[in-house]
Amino acid sequence: MVPLSETKTLTGGQLVVETLRALGVEAVFGVPGGQTLAITDAILDTPEIRFVTARHEGAAACMADAVGRLTRRPGVCIATTGPGATNLLTGIGGAYRDSSPVIAITCNNRLPDLDRDDAQNADHVSIFRPLVKWAKLVSDPRTIQQALEEAYLRATTGCPGPVLVDFARDVLESSLDPALLETVASASTAIEAAQQRPLGDPERIEQTARLLREARRPVLWLGNGAKLADAGAVALELAEQVGMPVITTFNGMGVVPTTHPLVYGALTRMGTELSSRALADADLLLAVGNSLNAISTGRWTMQLPQRIVQVDVEPAQIARYYAGRTLSVVGDARAVLSAVGESLRRDGGDAAAAQQRRARLDELSAARGAWLERAEQADETPQSGTIAPAAVMRAVRDAVPDETLAIFDAGNPGVWSYLWEIRKAGTYLKPVGFGNMGFALPAAIAAGIQNPQTPIVAFVGDGSLGMTLGELETLARERVPACLIVMNDSGYGNIRQEQWAHFGADRAIGVDFDDVDYAAVAQACGIESVRVTDPTALAEAVRDGVRSGAPRVVEALIDPAISAWTYPLFRFFEPEG
């Protein structure tokens, strides 16, 4: 292949791809169209970048989102104008609400034809603006590199998130001076700049350390920001140093192993008796990377301590809801927690307070033991030929290695994942803030492409799978070594159960499907698949699937009557009196 720098011309599309390569992009997910051709053709000549064809642009956005969540670097998705671009929106919304860095590239009509009723005409920037951190139409080919570098920086700095770069078709097809490539190498400086994180105000860090020394019943509540900052190890070190329990938000799940003796699980608008107990009598809340928004706090109905320290990299999120009782620390979660721990080591502590913290941990530890005993006996007996959802979680967990990446879709698979034991940090993915269904299958494809040696299991309901069924062909075509567990209850199970809970057992509408053999559908796509109806067969099928190194679909028929809305282990702790 002749280097581009030695050719007489350089297209805008080639400059886009060369800049992406310099920024470290390894895969572009999308559906090609006429307007994208200058970019996709250039990818053909760029072996460092892989183009992954999705069957729907929404899935491509979820694939890019998964890369962002796993690597903290922007995943890249691409779509053509009009319906191609708008199909990205739901997946981009998921990345936006969960702070996942994504660069969405849309390719529009030619500049003279914009807003002139051309085919598939749409104002992409206006459409995407509410769901991205930043959006830009590139109308001059000489600004291509700068636009993409800025997109990378905006996607990864501060609170991460998706951005949109919209290219006019004639910009991509224009002929440029190859000398422009000489500056592309400098794109790596954008990567270096994005790695700089704010350390936090020293005075506020000292105040935080003082409050922790004096607290009798502190609790550390980790959110997504702690996960994005890779702050789990430092958080556990601080919790051990202080002697305080750790809980996470739903979006923070995976930042620390749930097997650690100080970790009491997830707490949001749903939770468990155990996680809610850890917060119930706290006198100090250290909320790190946790926005304390509606999802985290049960729409602000949860009783929080009168003293809160909130650490976040995004200033606008701090003290937004509990201003009167919040000490705010603007900074990177890992850096701030490390600095607080250093202050505590330097200045010692309050012996009486430390003794009370140890006594409280002993009480919580005893409560954990009792809760785990009840968990072993809590399963409701499923209907004949079905599996209880809790048994699905246990059977799969016991069948796969500790380092397995578990990906959960929205709806019941995500809710039942409260029972998933996280044995290694960074091995859990789920869409939370936007709750976008249809995430797990495309995310598993992207995860397998990004980390082909990592065991992957993805849990999807039959409702979500129906929205991304075409991606079974993508899974087969890309030969991704992921095991997809289909939790089939013949309907939109979580909504059905919510209807039952609110309106009565005979009041359900719009939530029931006919029986579909998804294992047979997967087999038609060339994927080895099986349908199971008991936990032993499920565990065996998953174990074989993970070991096979090939795509596998395991369809588990679950009991639709066992409801997460009434499951006893998901009830909140209620103090006596």
Residue 379: pLDDT band with limits 50, 70, 90: low
Note the pTM of the prediction, 2 decimals: 0.94
Phi–psi pair at 297, nearest 5 degrees? -110, 15
Tell me what the mean pLDDT of segment 240-266 comes to. Answer: 95
Mean pLDDT of the chain, nearest integer? 92
pLDDT tens profile 2-39: 455 455 579 999 999 999 999 999 999 999 999 999 99
- Strand order of the β-sheet with 246-248 is 263-266, 246-248, 218-222, 284-288, 308-312, 326-330
Cα–Cα separations (whole angstroms), residue 183 to 43, 150, 151, 155, 190: 19, 15, 17, 21, 13
Q: What is the pLDDT of residues 104-138, one digit of tens each?
A: 999 998 777 777 777 778 899 999 999 999 999 99
The beta strand positions in 236-288, using DSSP E, are 246-248, 263-266, 284-288
Q: How far apart are CA 397 and CA 403, in angstroms?
A: 11
Q: b/e map of 447-475 (b: 16 or more CB within 10 Å)?
A: bbbbeeebbbbbbbbbbbbebbbebbbbb
CA distance linking residue 484 with residue 456, whole number of Å? 8
Q: In the predicted model, is pLDDT for residue 354 greater than 70?
A: yes
Tens-place pLDDT, residues 461-487? 999 999 999 999 999 999 999 999 999
Q: What average pLDDT does this structure show over 66-95? A: 97
pLDDT at 350: 79
* Domains observed in the chain: 4-194 (3.40.50.970), 202-368 (3.40.50.1220), 378-569 (3.40.50.970)
> Could you give the C-alpha distances from 168 to 235, 246, 337, 383, in angstroms and in order?
46, 49, 45, 57
Section 138-148 average pLDDT: 94
Q: How many helices (H) and strands (E) does the chain have?
A: 24, 20
- Residue 64 carries which side chain, given as an amino acid letter? A
